[in-house]
Structure 1
Amino acid sequence: MRQVSPESPGIYDFIIGLYRACDGDWKSLIGRADITAEDLASFLEYAGMILSNLGNYYGEGDRKFVPDLRKDVLRDIAAISEKTREGLEKIIAPMLAVPPFTLGHPSGFAQSGYYLGDESITPGDITRVSEVMNKGSIGPENTRARKVLRDGNTVLEVLQASAETDLSTDQSKQLAEGIILIRGDHSAELTRICEALEMAKQCACNDTQTDFLTRYIESFRTGSLEAFQASQKAWVKDISARVENIMGFIESYRDPAGIRAEWEAMVGIADADEIRVLKRFADSSTTFIRKLPWAVNGVNDGKGPFEKTLFETPDFSSVHALAVCGSVVFEAANLPNYEYIRETCGFKNIVLANRLSINNNPNLPCYWIKSSQVAFFRKTTHIVRYLTTVIHELLGHGTGKILSETGPGIYNFDKESPPINPLTGEAITSYYRIGQTWGSVFGKLAGTVEECRAILMSEYLMDDKELLGIFGYNDSSDITADDLLYATYLNIGVDGLQALEHYNAQTQTWGQVHHQVWSIPTQHPLASFPSPYPKRGQAHFAILNHILQISPDCLTVAYSRTARTLTVRLDRSRIRSHGKPALGQFLTKLHIWRCTADVDACKNFYESMCEVDDVYEEWREVVVGKPKMRWKFVQPNTFVQGEGEDLNVAVKVYDETNEGIIQSWVERDV
């Protein structure tokens, strides 16, 4: 929460303090002063949203939300105890303040929990800090930056997360003139995490688990990202774990500079039956790689020169999440994010089955589908989401060879007879130089292009009946393979339209939505199914835009200015003949540009696909004008009971209400 906004931890403490002050009897607050049942419901809705997003900005979209209550009502609610009164006064101003509207580079309308200080920190300051850290081989993922005035001089402090603390500036490390490194950010929390992990080591099932837990502790205790990378090398070797985990400063979605990562953690229980099916798919992966547009018969076992010689089948787990700590409850993960670890040690694909099952929601709104197709869409969408997620994680993120100079005069491809670029018909002319990586070359473009490539691959292969047959869908199943193909293209249209929610028309950028004040009403309306992340939202729009340009006879969007409606229309007979080639063309471009470090060609084409202008701006206004539902998740807790041979673990599940969410966090005792 501290990474979200300075006030978020205080809002959390205020909510928990209120629960304890009324002993969980929220209705007892009604009648105190002028508090009504509607006031209480509004506050509980806000509290539930805070605890589901772990902060006062939506995990999806990064938009700030404020309680739908007046100041005097909040103060009446807080009057139950002196502690809650004092707690509210510390946070009431920033809690209600608008602007900031969203997360982003600190400015008059945005803020960031990664960039702090008494002085206004600028993008130039952030770039300077990054350059100095890079020279000192200090990774940014577990850091924040703060600009302060000290002894009359402006100083940039790099705050590194660690349980160990640099108690004074004498212990801090000067990285350059005016830039110092200070350890101990989030020290109290990381100390407790290390203590818990020491206990977890006592329950490790094998030496590999003991190894990565030990490395976790070292990293969180000292701040060493080298230790964290060592933990990931061990973690990927913990194959088919019955209890799976993800932990650390991992994804950089919320950092406006795209390099500092949000703390997240997940513990899930593997589903053996689901894993057996996923293993069959993973074991057949080479079969499907040979069907990709750049595959060449007789070259590299039919995979072509733009794929690794050996596709090492990763560990593929379907788990039911027991607990997730983060701003979103994600559907799946492909980790670790360090490319060199993925290439040398492997990676894991983890699907959160109970998160994906939420897509099978009978109340799933369908703003962009013809009324005659709503029942079909609701019946098939959760299956499409599951299958495309599985393909996305295994083949989308798992394929591709980064053509590189790995050492002076040493290449991982034939430099004298380079591969033929399928986009030009001529030998490739670009590749990664020594020390360059996909992320360093493509910069901010890397995340959204990689998501787009993975999404395209999953959609491209959804016509493959051999692949769908592994999961039980064929010509004679209740929902046929052809039904799922049709539903896939409906979802291309729906996801592409809904992605416009993530476009900021004022700054003409993706990832931070338009500036509006968003209160939480007592009765929260339904909304369209949201894109999982802004980077994916941008990718979904690019795909829709491309297919509308290349193959309008297959997929179109009917727009009524008077009725303010958008409707996806699809010609089933043209999906294979027109739709798939359009996806294949886009997929091939992104894949080859990624493999060959051709950032200029990629940038020019991809950014043109992401432009929201003319009629698309009108479409965006329709999309953002629809009521929005934000998911809230209530999570269980586990408790150790008994001793010795009678020791057991009890799982407590809470009511699916705002009150249940709050109680679960109180009893988690954070």
Structure 2
Amino acid sequence: MVSRILEQNSILPENTRIRRANNSTDDSEVLVASVQRDDDVSRIRTFPTPGLKGVIRLIRGDHSSALENICNELTQAAKFAANDSQVEFLRKYEESFQTGSLNTYRESQWIWDRDEAPRVDFSSIHTLAYCASIIFPGINLPNEDGFKNVIISNRMATESRALQYPFIDPSEAETFTKHKFPAYHWCVVLHELLGHGTGQMMVETEEGKHNVDIDNPPISPLTGKPITTWYKPGQTWTGQFADLATTVDECRAELLGAYLMDDPEPLELFGFTASSELALKTQLDVDGLQGLSNFNVNTEMGQAHSRAHFAILKCLLLDGNGPVTVVHDGLAKAVRVRVDRSKILTHGKVALGSMLPRLHMYRCTADASACRAYYEELSAVDGEYLEWRETVLANKPPPFVFVHANTFLDGEKVVLREYEPTAEGVIQNWAERSV
């Protein structure tokens, strides 16, 4: 309800959180992350809740102190920018943190996107520090003007050496181990560059104005008929799809990568082989089982990527006619994935090719209700899948511990400080970052 009211007032939700007001159980407070604080009650924006008691208050100043430190560092960083575009990007970035304006944040990203790169830019990089609670192997920034993509190579290399779930059938273990890293790299490339980087939203930008010919609308490949839904003024992907937004788009990106992985031209370009393709298909299925470990039986929800991987595995099992089988022994607490090479292209790809356009069209046409009906059923963990989950948890290896370095100024010198890959090292690393 709160999200809908914010959407109607063109307020983006990504840098907000919600809490009940202290003085009333009927009022809600939406806290906006920003340096500027709405300590003066007269500056707080208030919105009614039609048909209900109470109001919604939009209050800036959440995480104010930490963001102020970040803004100070951005000011210093601008002194070392390579060109005027980078200076302007950093200034807009800082302004967005100062005011809490996500529109200003988007402006900063458009400037960064156009800086010294074509519309499709792709880079493999090593990070010195990655300041986030989850360190993803790749990142994509899509927007109206283009997109940039990066692979975090040292993060991926670290994961490839970590202890894995024992889900590979022994007959495929040697081939899988040999090709796992290049196949994983290839999957992330396709996932970021073409998965997240493609697709046009059908949008009514303002009353009566559309980015598509509404008198001659596109034909939906799902129904064979003209599309009937699109994003209305002020509506956004995250606002319309709510809790499904992230997991559905991660699933869409993963599906596109999986569908294109056998294309001979890009495979040859990256120096990959059919064995790499097999390893990637096997990894896709292993990820589906591994995703069960992040399923919460109480809330019936899971981490976005894990839920996506499990949905893809179920698609292959239910609609693929045999490219993948899962062998489960509950007593021995053992579960194995088996991939039938002869059915990867003839059956597996066909199943993925049926699932992919569904999610793509739901997303592009704002058809959240159809998406929810389809995706929630496909990603549901029930029956024998709950039994698989118990076995997965029984075989769960230690979690990854990524600990990056910090840099400090010692006079005119920059000093690099590294930490032990332990829980204590992670805490020390963040504490010494002073944000």
TM-score when scaled to structure 1? Answer: 0.59
Contact 1:156 1:179 (8 Å CA) reproduced = yes
What's the counterpart of residue 208 of structure 1?
Answer: 85
The letter for the 2-side match of 1:594 is R
Q: Return the match for 1:316 from 98, 112, 122.
A: 122
Stretches (4+) displaced over 6 A: none
Residues of 2 paired with 1:138 and 1:602: CA distance?
24
Residues of 1 paired with 2:12 and 2:366: CA distance?
23
2:33 is aligned with 1:156: no
* Secondary structure of the structure 2 residue equivalent to 1:324: coil
What's the counterpart of residue 593 of structure 1?
Answer: 362
Q: CA deviation at 1:591?
A: 2.1
The letter for the 2-side match of 1:146 is R
Q: CA deviation at 1:563?
A: 1.7
Residues of 1 paired with 2:31 and 2:110: CA distance?
26
Q: CA deviation at 1:411?
A: 4.5
2:253 is aligned with 1:484: no
Q: Return the match for 2:150 from 323, 346, 350.
A: 350
Residues of 2 paired with 1:178 and 1:442: CA distance?
24
- Say if 1:591 and 1:162 are closer, same or farther in 2 by CA, change over 3 A: closer
Moved more, 167-176 or 379-388: 167-176
Contact 2:359 2:371 (8 Å CA) reproduced = yes
Residues of 2 paired with 1:433 and 1:185: CA distance?
30
Residues of 2 paired with 1:189 and 1:429: CA distance?
45
What's the counterpart of residue 433 of structure 2?
Answer: 668
Greater gyration radius: 1
Q: Return the match for 2:41 from 156, 164, 169.
A: 169
- Say if 1:589 and 1:186 are closer, same or farther in 2 by CA, change over 3 A: closer
The letter for the 2-side match of 1:401 is Q
* Secondary structure of the structure 2 residue equivalent to 1:323: coil
* Secondary structure of the structure 1 residue equivalent to 2:139: strand
Q: Return the match for 1:368 from 167, 171, 174.
A: 167
- Say if 1:569 and 1:173 are closer, same or farther in 2 by CA, change over 3 A: closer
What's the counterpart of residue 254 of structure 2?
Answer: 455
2:339 is aligned with 1:583: no
* Secondary structure of the structure 2 residue equivalent to 1:634: coil
What's the counterpart of residue 427 of structure 1?
Answer: 225
Contact 2:164 2:397 (8 Å CA) reproduced = no
Contact 1:380 1:487 (8 Å CA) reproduced = yes
The letter for the 1-side match of 2:30 is V
Post-superposition CA distance 1:454-505 (Å, at most 9, x none)? 10110111111211111122xxxxxxx1101111221122111111112222
Post-superposition CA distance 1:502-528 (Å, at most 9, x none)? 222233x222xxxxxxxxxxxxxxxxx
Residues of 2 paired with 1:153 and 1:547: CA distance?
46
What's the counterpart of residue 439 of structure 1?
Answer: 238
Q: How does 1:293-312 map to 2 (within 5 A)?
A: none
Contact 1:557 1:569 (8 Å CA) reproduced = yes
* Secondary structure of the structure 1 residue equivalent to 2:17: strand
Q: How does 1:370-389 map to 2 (within 5 A)?
A: 370-389=169-188
Residues of 2 paired with 1:181 and 1:552: CA distance?
52
- Say if 1:419 and 1:149 are closer, same or farther in 2 by CA, change over 3 A: closer
* Secondary structure of the structure 1 residue equivalent to 2:401: coil
What's the counterpart of residue 392 of structure 2?
Answer: 623
Q: Return the match for 2:193 from 384, 389, 394.
A: 394
What's the counterpart of residue 58 of structure 2?
Answer: 181
Residues of 1 paired with 2:362 and 2:429: CA distance?
47
Residues of 1 paired with 2:19 and 2:378: CA distance?
36
Which runs of 5 or more structure 2 residues have no equivalent in the other structure?
49-53
* Secondary structure of the structure 2 residue equivalent to 1:145: strand
Post-superposition CA distance 1:561-614 (Å, at most 9, x none)? 332211111111221111111111111222233333343433322222112222
Contact 1:404 1:431 (8 Å CA) reproduced = no
- Say if 1:614 and 1:187 are closer, same or farther in 2 by CA, change over 3 A: closer
Contact 1:405 1:431 (8 Å CA) reproduced = no
Report the identity percentage. 43
Q: Return the match for 2:414 from 620, 636, 649.
A: 649
Q: CA deviation at 1:665?
A: 4.2
Residues of 2 paired with 1:323 and 1:453: CA distance?
29
Q: CA deviation at 1:390?
A: 0.9
Contact 1:239 1:315 (8 Å CA) reproduced = no
Residues of 2 paired with 1:623 and 1:438: CA distance?
33
Q: CA deviation at 1:388?
A: 0.8
Which runs of 5 or more structure 1 residues have no equivalent in the other structure?
1-126, 241-311, 337-341, 474-480, 512-533
Residues of 1 paired with 2:275 and 2:138: CA distance?
24
* Secondary structure of the structure 2 residue equivalent to 1:316: strand
Q: CA deviation at 1:416?
A: 4.7
Residues of 1 paired with 2:58 and 2:240: CA distance?
27
- Say if 1:323 and 1:618 are closer, same or farther in 2 by CA, change over 3 A: same
2:96 is aligned with 1:219: yes
Q: CA deviation at 1:640?
A: 3.1
